[in-house]
Amino acid sequence: MSTNSTYYIPHKATWPIIGTVGLMIMLAGFANFLNGSSIGQPLMIAGLLVFVAMLVGWFTLQAKESESGMYNHEVGISYRHGMMWFIFSEIVFFAVFFGTLWYTRNLSVPWLGEGATKELLWPSFDAVWPTNGPGKVGGEFEPMGAWGLPFVNTLLLLTSGVTCTWAHHGLLAKNRDQLIKGLLATVALGFLFVCFQALEYHEAYSEMGLTLGSGVYGSTFFMLTGFHGFHVCVGAIILSVVLFRSTKGHFSPENHFAFEAAAWYWHFVDVVWLGLFIFVYLM
C-alpha cells in the first residue's frame, strides 16, 4: 500500500500567484480602457505579458517534470479529469450563446412582430430572420452565406481532425515522423482556418455592412464565431507546443497526456464549429 506516497505532490508553487496577478492587472487594465482611462492600455499589455510568461514558465515546468518521470499513472488520471471537466465548462460557455441564438430566433424576434408590440410599437416591423431588429440597429446589412469561406473552413477543420488522429496513431506506433508530420498538418490547417475567418470578417465589415453592431444577427454571429475563432487560435497554439515537444523527443506511447489533452481540445473546437456551421450559417 504505497500508492499515496508515489503520487507527486508539488511544493512551493510560484506560477499560480504570478498568473493571478498578471490576469488581474490585465483585466483591471481592460476595465480602465473601457472607461476611457489612458492607463488602461499599458496596464493591459503589462498584465498580458506577465500572464504569457506564467503560461510559458508553468508549462515548461510541467513538461520537465513529466519527462523526468515524476508523474505516475494516478497523476495522469487526475490531469485527464481536469482537462475533461475544463472542456465541459467550455461547452457550457458556448451553450449560452447557442441558447441565446435559439431564444432570439424562436421566441423574442417573433414576439416583436406580433400582438400589441407590433400594433403599438413597431407596426412596420417584419419579424423575419436574419434581422437587426425593428430599430434597424447598425443599418442595412447582408447576412453571411454558408457555401463560401465557411464551407471551406468546415472542410479544413474536419481534415485537421483526421490529421490529428493520424498523428496520434503515429505516436502510439512509435513512428515519430508520422507524429510530427500529422501535428504539422493539423497546426497549419488550424492557422489557415483562422486566416480564412479573418478574411470572412474583413468581407463582412467592408462589403456586406455586417458588423458586431448589426442588431441581434450581428451580435450572435460575431459572438459565436468570434469566441470559436479565439478557441481555434488557442487550440492551434497548444498543438504548436505539442509539436515543438515532439521534435524534442518528448512523449511515449504510454506517457503523452499533453498530446491527448491538446487533441481533446482540438476535437471539441471542431465539434463546436459543426454546430456553428449548421445553426449560424445553414439554418
Partner 1 sequence: MSAAVDEHDHHADDHHDHGPEKGLLRWVITTNHKDIGTMYLLFALAMFFIGGTMAMVIRAELFEPGLQFVDPAFFNSMTTMHALVMVFGAVMPAFVGLANWQIPLMIGATDMALPRMNNMSFWMLVAGVLLLASTLFMEGGAPNGGWTLYPPLVLQPITVGKALPFAIFSVHLLGISSIMGAINIIATIFNMRAPAMKMMDMPLFVWTWLITAFLLIAVMPVFAGAVTMLLTDKFFHTSFFNAAGGGDPVLYEHIFWFFGHPEVYIMILPTFGVASTIIPVFARKPLFGYASMVWATASIAFLSFIVWAHHMFTVGMPIAGELYFMYATMIIAVPTGVKVFNWTATMWKGAMTFETPMLFSIAFVVLFTLGGFTGLMMSIAPSDFQYHDTYFIVAHFHYTLVPASVFILMAAGYFWLPKWTGHMYNEKIGQLHFWLSVISVNILFFPQHFLGLAGMPRRIPDYAVQFADWNMISSVGGFIFGASQLLFLYIVIDTIRGGTGEKVSDEVWEDAAKHGLEWTLPSPTPYHTWTTPPTIVPTEHVLDSH
Instruction: For residue 283, give Cα distances in angstroms to 78, 157, 216.
Output: 40, 20, 16
What is the grid cell recorded at 190?
488550424
Whichever of 28 and 53 has its CB closer to partner 1, that residue is 28
Whichever of 57 and 148 has its CB closer to partner 1, that residue is 57
Contact criterion met (CB below 8 Å) for 227 and 97: yes
Whichever of 131 and 154 has its CB closer to partner 1, that residue is 131
Query: Closest separation between CB of residue 188 and partner 1, Å?
Result: 30
Query: Closest separation between CB of residue 60 and partner 1, Å?
Result: 14
What is the grid cell recorded at 26?
490585465
| Interface residues toward partner 1, by CB under 8 A | 1-5, 7, 9-17, 19-21, 23-24, 27-28, 30-31, 34-35, 58, 74, 77-79, 81-82, 85-86, 88-90, 92-93, 95-97, 99-100, 103-104, 107-109, 111-112, 131-135, 137-138, 211-213, 215-220, 222-223
Contact criterion met (CB below 8 Å) for 44 and 67: no
Query: Closest separation between CB of residue 283 and partner 1, Å?
Result: 17
The residues near 182 (Cβ < 8 Å, ≥ 6 apart) are 163, 164, 166, 167, 168, 169, 170
Q: Rounded CA gap, 272 and 234, in Å?
A: 14
Q: Rounded CA gap, 272 and 91, in Å?
A: 8
Query: Closest separation between CB of residue 158 and partner 1, Å?
Result: 26
Whichever of 92 and 249 has its CB closer to partner 1, that residue is 92
Query: Closest separation between CB of residue 39 and partner 1, Å?
Result: 13
Whichever of 180 and 223 has its CB closer to partner 1, that residue is 223
Q: Cis omega (within 30 of 0) on the bond before 16? A: no
Closest C-alpha to 268, from 160, 152, 151, 149: 160
Q: What Rg value do the Cα atoms of the chain yield, rounded?
A: 23
Burial class (CB in 10 A: 0-12, 13-18, 19+), 164: buried
Query: Closest separation between CB of residue 89 and partner 1, Å?
Result: 5
Query: Closest separation between CB of residue 235 and partner 1, Å?
Result: 17
Whichever of 110 and 145 has its CB closer to partner 1, that residue is 110
Q: Which amino acid is at 161?
A: G
Whichever of 16 and 145 has its CB closer to partner 1, that residue is 16
